[in-house]
Structures are given as structure tokens and as C-alpha cells.
């Protein structure tokens, strides 16, 4: 993923893997994310699905927003749900 300005390392823990990302330059998406959040932290949580197109359709049907079109990730085709569409407001 050096083409996207990040170094990727996968840590396998049974059927779970943790993807560690290191920005290689300050203009990478990950570097900008970290800068905006004040340092290290969780960038995303990934779920593997059998039918990405079907999943995208269901996500959009319930009103969630994707950050862009599916693209090549470290281990296959990925898409992201925009974090703001997952925010829950508490109204009492």
C-alpha cells in the first residue's frame, strides 16, 4: 500500500487480524487522519462479507453513507461507511 502512502503490517490472532498502518508521508490520508485526531488511534474497524455489492445495497437502504466507491485495499476490495452516518444522538 506504499502507493497510498502507508506501510501495512497484519497481525494475526486466530480468525482475527489487526491491521497496523504507518503513514509514509504527511500528505497521506492516514497521516491527515492522525493529525486531525491528535495522534495514534483507531482508524477503522473492518468486517469481511461474502457479498460486498449486497452489503453496500443494504447499508444504503438503511440510510448510511459510504465515503467513496469500493477500491483495492491491503487484502481485497474495500469500502468504508462514513463515521458521521454511524453517530447516534441521544434525545431524552
Do both 34 and 77 map to the same domain? no
Do both 86 and 56 map to the same domain? yes
Of the candidates 34, 46, 86, 38, which has an alpha carbon nearest to the alpha carbon of residue 70? 46
Do both 57 and 21 map to the same domain? no
Do both 28 and 52 map to the same domain? no
Structural contact between residues 10 and 19, judged by C-beta atoms closer than 8 angstroms: yes
pTM of the model: 0.61
Rounded mean pLDDT of 51-65?
93
Averaged confidence pLDDT in the chain: 85
User: How far, in Å, CA of 77 to CA of 51, rounded?
Assistant: 11
Structural contact between residues 77 and 52, judged by C-beta atoms closer than 8 angstroms: yes
Rounded mean pLDDT of 66-91?
82
Residue 32's domain comprises 1-43
Rounded mean pLDDT of 13-24?
87
Amino acid at each position: 500500500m506504499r502507493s497510498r502512502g502507508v506501510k501495512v503490517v497484519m497481525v494475526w490472532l486466530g480468525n482475527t487480524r489487526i491491521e497496523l498502518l504507518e503513514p509514509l508521508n504527511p500528505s497521506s490520508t492516514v497521516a491527515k487522519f492522525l493529525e486531525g485526531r491528535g495522534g495514534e488511534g483507531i482508524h477503522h474497524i473492518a468486517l469481511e462479507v461474502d457479498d460486498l455489492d449486497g452489503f453496500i445495497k443494504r447499508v444504503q437502504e438503511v440510510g448510511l453513507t459510504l465515503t467513496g466507491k469500493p477500491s483495492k485495499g491491503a487484502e481485497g476490495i474495500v469500502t468504508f461507511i462514513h463515521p458521521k452516518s454511524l453517530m447516534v444522538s441521544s434525545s431524552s
